[in-house]
Amino acid sequence: MTLNEIAQNLLNLVRGGRSNHDEHISMDQIKFNIKHYRAMFIRRDYARNGFISRHVEQDLGCVDLIAVDASKCCQINTTCPVFRTSQKIPKTVRYNFEEAISYVGDVSGTTSIPMVHANTIKYLSYDKYTNTKMKSYMLGDYLYVYNAKGVDMINVRGVFENPEDVAVFNKECYDNGPCFDAATTEYPIPMDMLNMINQGILAGELALLAGTFSDTETDRVQDPKTIRNIGSSNKQEQ
């Protein structure tokens, strides 16, 4: 199912099949809740099982690396280049203290670059066995690659909070249209988890909104029972 189909299905369920002209529940609200519950259930699933379904994983495609100065201060140049992604990596689903990135490596997908914690990078140069090996790490919103000389592009895959954010990374998609289209792209989530999301939203946010804004007060098409009551009152007054 696409994101639009999932949201429309939830809206139809809370409406009870009736079309409401004075809609108080927006599709944007529903889509936000879908993304929130998706991230929450993925995180719970990982904590319980220790692995993540491939159906929630997304591919950022070919990601450019650029050389930047190691200094974090704009006024200071250390002349020591490090390599990082040219664009910010979309926020990943939170896995305890780990980044939800499942693969960093060459664009062919055959050779991975191990991920390490950013704090360990300063010790790598002292290890004679690994000081020439490539390592990757997240720092801020960027992904850095240690010892990336001669490498100007990598492939990154992971589980991201908002699947729509992934669209900006694949250049080929932009030439032929957006990578992620809420109306046509299958939403990255397995069906069993989708059922849990629907139940959570229907019992929570949508139940609250539906109770706050009653159809009997806002629907332009009056309920037949209400019309009969009004007719009876008018006859008594006459």
91-132 pLDDT per residue, tens = 999 887 678 899 999 988 888 999 988 888 777 777 777 777
pLDDT(236) > 60: no
Instruction: Give the separation between CA 103 and CA 138, rounded to whole angstroms.
Output: 13
Those residues with Cβ within 8 angstroms of residue 199's Cβ, 6 or more apart along the chain or in another chain = none
* pLDDT tens figures, 145-194: 988 878 899 999 999 999 988 876 666 666 666 677 888 889 999 998 99
Contact predicate 186/1, CB 8 Å: yes
Alpha-carbon distance of 155 to 55, in angstroms, equals 18
Interatomic CA distance for residues 143 and 185, integer angstroms: 26
Residue 52 CB neighbour total at 10 angstroms = 18
Q: What is the pLDDT of residue 79?
A: 53
Angle subtended at Cα 234 by Cα 228 and Cα 237, rounded to the nearest 5 degrees:
145
Q: What phi, psi does 58 have (nearest 5°)? A: -130, 155
Pairwise pLDDT comparison (219 vs 2), residue with the higher score: 2
| Helix, strand or coil, per DSSP, at residue 115 | strand
Q: Using an 8 Å Cβ cutoff, are 63 and 170 in contact?
A: no
Residue 213: is its pLDDT beyond 80?
no
The CA distance from 42 to 31, in Å, is 17
What six digits make up the tokens of 217?
């007060």
The CB-side HSE value for 57 (13 A sphere, CA atoms) comes to 15
| Contact status, residue 161 vs residue 40, Cβ threshold 8 Å | no
pTM (whole model) above 0.85: no
- Mean pLDDT (whole number) for 128-151: 85
Collect all residues with Cβ–Cβ distance below 8 Å to 184 and sequence separation of at least 6.
Answer: 2
